[in-house]
């Protein structure tokens, strides 16, 4: 949203500047500096081995399984919290997490967690790692 607002502001400024058809010989230069910057998020999709290595090396990280409670109940990665991406309160629940802590996220095969990563970027999370292939890939990796 902030990026869109910034884009619209720049576009407006460009149109306003190009619409100046004054015949005066006086030249006026206006410099506008924006102090608002869009939050930067580091986001990466990692293979199971890299996901595990990064997770184990990161102190105080959030590990979130975005599958349904039934899927979660059938098995998950040790110490994962369940916040159902399809649940009505997903955005509210994920927003309660500390956005300055690294977020590790996964689903069944990678689709929902990819969408959840986009939501988390919009919410201002600083660093997000998504498990490539989801829990299915994790299970294969662990066998």
Per-residue pLDDT tens listing for the chain (143 residues): 444 444 444 444 343 444 444 443 443 333 434 444 456 889 999 999 999 999 999 999 999 999 999 999 999 999 999 999 999 999 999 999 999 999 999 999 999 999 999 999 999 999 999 999 999 999 999 99
CA distances from 28 to 37, 72, 84, 132 (A): 27, 63, 56, 54
Residue pair 56/77 in contact (Cβ under 8 Å)? The answer is no
What is the structure's pLDDT at 119?
A: 96
The H or E element that residue 142 is part of is: helix 134-142
What is the structure's pLDDT at 14?
A: 41
What is the structure's pLDDT at 31?
A: 41
Residue pair 79/92 in contact (Cβ under 8 Å)? The answer is no
SS3 108: coil
What is the structure's pLDDT at 39?
A: 63
């Amino acid at each position: 949203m902030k990026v869109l607002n910034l884009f619209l502001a720049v576009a407006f400024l460009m149109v306003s500047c190009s619409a100046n058809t004054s015949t005066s010989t006086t030249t006026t230069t206006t410099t506008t500096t924006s102090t608002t910057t869009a939050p930067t998020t580091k986001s990466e999709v990692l293979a199971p081995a890299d996901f595990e290595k990064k997770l184990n090396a990161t102190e105080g990280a959030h590990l979130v399984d975005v599958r349904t409670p039934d899927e979660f109940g059938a098995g998950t990665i040790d110490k994962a919290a369940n916040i159902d991406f399809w649940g009505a309160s997903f955005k509210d629940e994920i927003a309660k997490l500390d956005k300055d802590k690294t977020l590790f996220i996964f689903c069944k095969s990678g689709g929902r967690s990819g969408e959840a990563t986009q939501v988390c970027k919009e919410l201002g999370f600083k660093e997000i790692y998504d498990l490539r292939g989801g829990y299915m890939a994790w299970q294969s990796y662990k066998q």
